[in-house]
Amino acid sequence: MEFKLVSKDILELSGQALVVGVYETDELGIFAKKIDDNMNALLSDFLKDIHFKAKEAQCVFMPGHKGIKFKDVIIVGLGKKEELKVDIIRKAAKAAIDKAKEIFHNEIYFEPLGYEILGEKSIEALVDGVVIGDYKFKKYKKDKEDNTTEISNINIVSDETALESVINRAYIISQAANFTRDIVNEPGNVITPKKLVDIAQEISKDYGLKCKVFDHPILLDRQMSGILAVGSGSENPPFFIHLTYKPQNPKKRIVIIGKGVTFDSGGLDIKPPKSMKTMKCDKAGACVVLGILKAVSQLKLDIEIHGLIPTVENMPSGKSFRPDDILVFKNGKSVEILNTDAEGRLILADALIYGSELNPDIMIDIATLTGASMVALGRFCSAIFTQNHNLSHTITKLGSETGEKFWPLPLDKDLEEEIKGEFSDIKNVGSSYGGAITAALFLKEFVGENIKDWIHLDIAGPTFLEKPWKYYSEGATATPLRTILNWLTTL
């Protein structure tokens, strides 16, 4: 798919399909009004005749007529003008490309939907809606499911030449999201810890990154007890990946950690079959880190970024770690294992210790960590934990613009008692209450005292969809990649 900014007058252009927006109460957008005037009110009459309400993402098409040089005009609803938000643009763009494919068009011209109200954010959202909305993981389907046309060219019509850089940036970020979704959607028999290593090395080679990989001997030498323990039950060995993007004069140093459990059976505390079904998505945090590092090298950000991925497969066998085991980590903390299905926090502990040694300005970890976060916030919202309220507010606000929702939960010191160990410093699970919080408090034990700002994102809810939602198909969403990349561009 190729995006292009076209700066000609809409009435001089010709092509297969033109997408224009309409608001509720019969209010045509700027482009729709211009076309309607040139067609002697044929467009507005058509919409009245079919009782088009212009609800959000409602979509119809009208064959082109004298006064316009496009074969078809696709009209998409934008809802109430005074309530227009960027996520509505994404849904509208998704609806428009679906309609274009349905009527066999592979080249589409878009007016900049909502630009007169939302400015550049509407352009970013339009690109998001097209790229993310056109994604579906079909690699293993013999019948590719539909015979609709594949979109090849998207033209955005505007005389604002500065929008070209906005389009390019949004396309890089959206493509990184789809790259991430591809890896998350791959099953556990395809993506093993070693395969994540291979992908990281490929990205490193293709995008000029540095890549260090720690195998079993180095993990032992580095005292990465959590990774070694969780990975001990699988025939697929564990690894630790360190990707680095470093420009000449970086403004800041950021560490981003992603949980990379390529499949989580629960270990000896094995999950029931229903809970195990989607556990290929337990590597989502790691895949997001890979997508972020790929994108930042293309965006050429002036920030030093370290992507850290502890990657394991959590399986039951005679070599598995057990309930009642006690692990001692490099920072001296001892941890009693009460449940082998609370494994993500153990491998993240090693990464947090290592990340702290890099002395970053900000350290962030991304993990499908707890079902408790879903109990608290539902399936579509990630939990954010940090003691920096400004950072929490910034990411939450950016998430409202990218369509990736976050809600702050407290690092409640009163719950620290829940994870105090009887035979060790701490244990890896607390009681049945406040599980997302006690998991975050566990991680906090491994954040170095030198770290001023640390953010923990529990993405268990929105990371994987069992049915389509908004502009997403079923499967991986790449949450929170677009929010984090947008945040990095502001630093």
- Residues that are catalytic: 271, 345
Please list the alpha-helical segments (H only) found in 246-388.
273-276, 284-299, 344-357, 371-377
**Other C-beta atoms lying within 10 Å of the C-beta of residue 96:** 28
CB 35 within 8 A of CB 10: yes
Interhelix angle for 344-357 vs 435-444, to 10°? 30
Give 157's strand partners: 6
How far is residue 213's CA from residue 291's CA, in Å, rounded to a whole number? 18
According to DSSP, the β-strands at 14-23 and 69-77 are parallel
**Other C-beta atoms lying within 10 Å of the C-beta of residue 155:** 18
> Which candidate, 299, 225, 229, 233, places its Cα nearest to that of 263?
233
> Which candidate, 16, 36, 302, 31, places its Cα nearest to that of 158?
31
How far is residue 385's CA from residue 143's CA, in Å, rounded to a whole number? 44
Q: Which residues contact 455 (CB under 8 A, 6 or more apart)?
A: 362, 363, 364, 365, 384, 385, 386, 388, 391, 392, 395
DSSP calls for 26-75 = TEE-HHHHHHHHHTTTHHHHHHHHTT----TT-EEEEE--TT-EEEEEEE
